[in-house]
Amino acid sequence: MNGNILEIDALRLAYRTRGTVAYAMNGATLHVAEGEAVGLVGESGSGKSTLARATLGLIPAKIARIESGRMAIGGQDVTRFTEDQWQAIRGNPVAMVFQDPLSYLNPVMRVGKQIAESVRLHEPRAILQSRVEELLWLVKLPAAAAEAYPHELSGGMRQRALLAVALGCKPKLLVADEPTTALDVTTQAEILALIRELRERLGMALLLISHDLGIVASACDRIYVMYAGHTVEWGKAADVFGRPAHPYTVGLLKAAQAARNAEGRFATIAGDPPNLAELSPGCPFTPRCPLARAECSAEMPPPGPARNAGAQEVRCWAHR
Amino acid sequence: MSDPILILDNVSKTFRRSGGAPVRAVNNVSLTVGRGETVALVGESGSGKSTLGRIALGLLAPDSGRVVLEGRSLGDLSPGEFRRARVAMQPIFQDASSSLNPRRPARELMTQALRGQDGASDARSAELLDRVGLSPGRDYLPRFPHEISGGQRQRLAVARALAMNPRLIIADEPLSGADVSIRGQILNLLLDIKAERGVAYLMITHDISIARHFADRVAVMQHGVIVETGPAEAVLSAPTHPYTRQLVAAVPVLEAPAQA
Amino acid sequence: MRRFWQRFLAYRAGIASGGYVALLALVALATLLWPGLDPHQISDAAMAAPSLDHLFGTDELGRDMLLGVLYGAQVSLAVGVSAAFGATLLGVMLGAAAGFWGGWLDLAVMRISEMFQVVPSFILAAVIVSLSGTGLTQVVAVIVLLAWPQIARITRGEVMRIKQLEFVDAVRCLGMREWEILATEVVPNAVAPVLAAGTLVVAQAILLEASLSFLGLSSADIISWGRMLNAGQRFLFNAWWMSVFPGLAIFLTVLAFNLLGDAVGSALNPRTVTR
């Protein structure tokens, strides 16, 4: 378990479109150890999906640029990788599943063939037929699903098929970007259980990205909380969700409970989610923060241990 | 409950697709919303809950059964009577970016609703915008829906519904498009409106925890049929129907953090 | 609206064609208002080649070709724009009603529009004009009759898409009448592709007018490019300028309106990415 499969350090990534610059990642830091399950939570505009796509080199090179920081996969620095270099590591060691499997499966190719393709790319000498059967069995799809086209499957089955394609590459790290958001709760529970089981069986690391705190809490060992391109708090799930330190995490957790307080009010965070194109040098949460003080709007605090909380790291002046 | 605002009486709707088998989206459903009551209609996609919502709003005619709004069966009204009667209920949709005409600024969107009412003016529009937390309301009048944030758009949609002085608001997944951190803002606003005006809500949602904490009563729908109904807290903390149990069990639990 | 202009200007052919059309309109207006210029005035040099006196040469009666071509812009623009306006108005009304209410109305409008689309339009136009007389009004009416189906089909498709959007249901719940929903909520959201198609009709109309005139199916006392071509063909080998300049004017104008239609279409389409 020593060694990190994924290391992202102080990564700044800007989208430039016609005069506007948006920092989707503004010093994000995230590590995933081999075999570890890491959750990344954030709301719209937090940059979490950009981070997910960056781990597979899927950032549009024309408008996006990594301005500083570093990213390494399996110990190899990939910060300045070219498209050809990315092509060589996509699937193995890193594979990805998405929110909407239908747009990532080929609509005119049978599911079994698509799984076979991904196996063939990474294990040229494998006996395809038996590997495909094994993968279908792993994701708990009936063998007959190999003969189906993607549109003939239900939403949950499609996500299983996409998982089988990803697993066909034997990844060491599976990046799952909102894998259950489009699914019903009962199907969602099945897919989450499947991902947990696969991880244990195959010893693969997981980076699970979601806006839903409950999902991440149930599936991950460690949690990163992202806000406006920054990772603002990270640590063991029990610490981050059990004894949250950053005022944003505190507010988000209360809001996610959807429970009412003594006055019968729902918990909420004042104000609106940040606009990534209009950020000040300070902590982006300042305008919405109940603990904001003078230094908050001047400078983003460095990471450090949380006070009066768990053993997590937090970027907040209230904890310095 | 003696004088319900909305009665859905044995309502059914079947969709016929060309080349496919007919789908019974809603199958003999009866549901009542009392005056000032909040009812949550819970179910997964394909359960027929949105179809039932559209039938209640009079946007879709049921194949059989009646929709009774404030004692009057919508099916028996003339088109003119129906138009005047239906304004007593107003919809709030999932995504305000599609439920507000993108070509109209807030001023026009509000005027459309206030038209024909006494005291319709920019001042009245601004007052309503203030009421939903878009303050100062006057500053929001020239803005187009795409120029404000998602949460603000949903508030604008609420303000427009309020302009009609509705007695019933039918909200179809009004929070699905909103970020977790601002969901509470919208829910609190809906609570305040209820406290001030005594409106009733029919909230259609897939989110068990919102149904549980927001509604007085809940109806659980599966495959076009209501399988369980009762007080929200009781049904969702101790469900009796196997499907409700399965639904409640599937929600990932987030334990309340210890207060720092 | 600002986004519209940004996208429009980013489309280079849009600027060029827009500029050309604006210039043409200016020319047409100038010839209309300028006192003392008479394109029918006959000089003593008949069929003179282009020279400094007559830049485009003169025709068989000694009339100045340049003045003729400039005056021709009046007819082409008037016919093109009014025909496109009429076709768009008719097409939008019928297409919108068909798309919004569906049912037998939709069936009827679509079958009729198909009838017009399968008949070879030029032959139909020639037949109608030769039966009903050769005034400009007839030409415009014929073009309206032939061009509305394409506008109607585009409008119908857009209306069918837009009427399913939630904001339509939202205003319905405000108690708005159906025809009012159609006119004030649905149709304004359908203008973009309709406007683009309407601009293309201008080009078609100009071409059709020129073709009819070329065949002599227009009244002889009207100065139009088609008419000039008709006159010029008899002298094609000894007075090329009598055909080339009006022909060039038709070619450029039709091209400009086609490009303009494309530019308007992509400028009004919010999904168009400008670089």
Q: Is the dihedral of CA C5, C7, C10, C12 positive or negative?
A: negative
Instruction: Look up the pTM and report it.
Output: 0.85
pLDDT average, residue stretch A165-176: 94
Phi, psi at A222, each rounded to 5°: -125, 155
Whether residues A266 and B213 touch (CB distance < 8 A) is answered with yes
Whether residues B254 and A251 touch (CB distance < 8 A) is answered with no
Cis bond before residue B62 (omega within 30° of 0): no
Nearest CA in chain C to B163: C174
Whether residues B188 and A265 touch (CB distance < 8 A) is answered with yes
Mutate to test the interface with B, among C163, C169, C179 (most CBs of B within 10 A): C169
Q: Which two tokens stand for residue A63?
A: 């408008």
Residues of A in contact with B207 (CB under 8 A): 258
Domain interval for residue A273: 250-319
Element (H, E) at A216: helix A213-219
Name which of A84-88, A194-198, C40-44, C171-175 the model is least confident about. Answer: C40-44
Cβ count near A133 (within 10 Å): 15
Distance CA A202, CA A173 (A): 11
Q: Chain C residues within 8 A (CB-CB) of chain B?
A: 165-167, 169-177, 185, 188-189
* SS3 call for C98: helix
* Region of residue C90 (phi > 0: left; psi between -120 and 50: alpha; otherwise: beta): alpha
Q: How many residues does chain C have?
A: 275
Regarding an ipTM greater than 0.85, the answer is yes
Among B59, B89, B99, the residue with its CB nearest the CB of C167 is: B99
pLDDT average, residue stretch C241-259: 88
Tell me whether residue B98 is in a domain.
Answer: no
Among B151, B152, B252, the residue with its CB nearest the CB of A214 is: B252
Element (H, E) at A26: strand A20-33
Please report, in angstroms and rounded to a whole number, the separation of the first and last CA atoms in chain C. 18
Residue that is last in its domain, among B134, B165, B196: B165
Instruction: Give me the CATH number covering residue C193.
Output: 1.10.3720.10
Mutate to test the interface with B, among C161, C174, C184 (most CBs of B within 10 A): C174
- Residue B134 and residue B185 share a domain: no
Whether residues B179 and A268 touch (CB distance < 8 A) is answered with no
Distance CA C214, CA C226 (A): 5
Tell me whether residue C22 is in a domain.
Answer: no
Residues of A in contact with B210 (CB under 8 A): 258
Does A64 score more than 70 pLDDT? yes
Domain count, chain A: 1
Whether residues A273 and B149 touch (CB distance < 8 A) is answered with yes
Q: How confident is the model at residue C274 (pLDDT cuts 50, 70, 90)?
A: very low
Tell me whether residue B226 is in a domain.
Answer: yes
Among A189, A244, A256, the residue with its CB nearest the CB of B180 is: A256
Distance CA B239, CA B227 (A): 11
Torsion of CA C48, C53, C59, C62, to 10 degrees: -90
pLDDT in tens, A285-313: 999 999 999 899 999 999 999 988 788 99
Shortest Cα distance, chain C CAs vs residue B141, angstroms: 18
Domain interval for residue B12: 4-88+166-249
pLDDT average, residue stretch C10-23: 83
User: How many residue pairs bridge chain A and chain B with CB atoms within 8 Å of each other?
Assistant: 117
Domain count, chain B: 2
Instruction: Give me the CATH number covering residue B48.
Output: 3.40.50.300
Q: Which two tokens stand for residue B226?
A: 């209501």
Whether residues A218 and B258 touch (CB distance < 8 A) is answered with no
- Residue B177 and residue B129 share a domain: no
Tell me whether residue B119 is in a domain.
Answer: yes
pLDDT average, residue stretch A273-279: 82
Distance CA B91, CA B2 (A): 24
What DSSP string describes A225-248? Answer: EEETTEEEEEEEHHHHHHS--SHH
Tell me whether residue B95 is in a domain.
Answer: no
Among C166, C177, C189, the residue with its CB nearest the CB of B99 is: C166
Tell me whether residue C227 is in a domain.
Answer: yes
- Residue B82 and residue B26 share a domain: yes
- Residue B124 and residue B53 share a domain: no
Mutate to test the interface with C, among B101, B112, B164 (most CBs of C within 10 A): B101
Whether residues B101 and C189 touch (CB distance < 8 A) is answered with yes
Distance CA C146, CA C128 (A): 11
Q: Which two tokens stand for residue B58?
A: 């009079």
Tell me whether residue C27 is in a domain.
Answer: no
Pairing of strands A64-73, A4-17: antiparallel
Shortest Cα distance, chain A CAs vs residue B191, angstroms: 8
Whether residues A192 and B249 touch (CB distance < 8 A) is answered with no
Whether residues C169 and B160 touch (CB distance < 8 A) is answered with no
Among B54, B58, B112, the residue with its CB nearest the CB of C174 is: B112
What distance separates the 2 farthest-apart alpha carbons in chain B? Answer: 61
Tell me whether residue B254 is in a domain.
Answer: no
A259 touches chain B (CB under 8 A): yes
- For tokens 């279409």, name the residue: C265
Q: Is A280 exposed, middle or buried (0-12, 13-18, 19+ CB in 10 A)?
A: middle
pLDDT of residue B150: 86
Domain count, chain C: 1
Cβ count near C230 (within 10 Å): 21
Tell me whether residue B97 is in a domain.
Answer: no
Q: How confident is the model at residue B132 (pLDDT cuts 50, 70, 90)?
A: very high
Nearest CA in chain B to A245: B260
Whether residues B100 and C167 touch (CB distance < 8 A) is answered with yes
pLDDT in tens, A89-131: 999 899 999 988 888 899 999 999 999 999 988 887 778 889 9
pLDDT of residue C117: 82
> Across the strands, what pairs with B69?
B6, B72
Distance CA A167, CA A52 (A): 18
Report how far apart, in Å, the C-alpha atoms of A170 and of each of A174, A260, B77, C104 are: 9, 45, 65, 59
Of residues C10 and A54, the one with the higher pLDDT is A54
The C-alpha angle with vertex C88 and arms to C86 and C94, in degrees rounded to 5, equals: 100
Residues of B in contact with C192 (CB under 8 A): none
Does A54 score more than 50 pLDDT? yes
pLDDT of residue C7: 67
Does B239 score more than 70 pLDDT? yes
Distance CA C21, CA C253 (A): 7
Whether residues C170 and B99 touch (CB distance < 8 A) is answered with yes
Whether residues B90 and C173 touch (CB distance < 8 A) is answered with yes
Residue/partner pairs of C127-136 with CB below 8 Å, 24 or more apart: C129/C212, C129/C217, C129/C218, C130/C217, C134/C217, C134/C218, C134/C219, C135/C219, C136/C75, C136/C78, C136/C79, C136/C218, C136/C219, C136/C222
Q: What is the mean pLDDT of chain A?
A: 91
Nearest to A34 by CA among A203, A235, A192, A219: A203
Whether residues B184 and A266 touch (CB distance < 8 A) is answered with yes
Give yes or no for a contact between A296 and A289, defined as CB atoms under 8 angstroms apart: yes
Residues of B in contact with A253 (CB under 8 A): 254, 257
pLDDT average, residue stretch A40-56: 92
Q: How confident is the model at residue B98 (pLDDT cuts 50, 70, 90)?
A: confident
Nearest CA in chain B to A260: B213
Pairing of strands A205-210, A37-41: parallel
Amino acid identity of residue B81, one-letter, is E
User: In angstroms, what is the C-alpha Rg of chain A?
Assistant: 20
Cis bond before residue A93 (omega within 30° of 0): yes
Whether residues C170 and B160 touch (CB distance < 8 A) is answered with yes
Shortest Cα distance, chain C CAs vs residue B202, angstroms: 15
pLDDT average, residue stretch C61-78: 84
Tell me whether residue C59 is in a domain.
Answer: no
Among A185, A243, A267, the residue with its CB nearest the CB of B184 is: A267
Of residues C49 and B106, the one with the higher pLDDT is B106
Tell me whether residue C268 is in a domain.
Answer: no
Of residues B49 and C214, the one with the higher pLDDT is B49
Nearest to C205 by CA among C94, C15, C78, C72: C78
Q: How confident is the model at residue B222 (pLDDT cuts 50, 70, 90)?
A: very high
Cβ count near A157 (within 10 Å): 20
Distance CA B210, CA C113 (A): 52
Mutate to test the interface with B, among C101, C166, C187 (most CBs of B within 10 A): C166
Phi, psi at A208, each rounded to 5°: -105, 120
- Residue B71 and residue B8 share a domain: yes
Fill in the DSSP letter of residue A302.
P
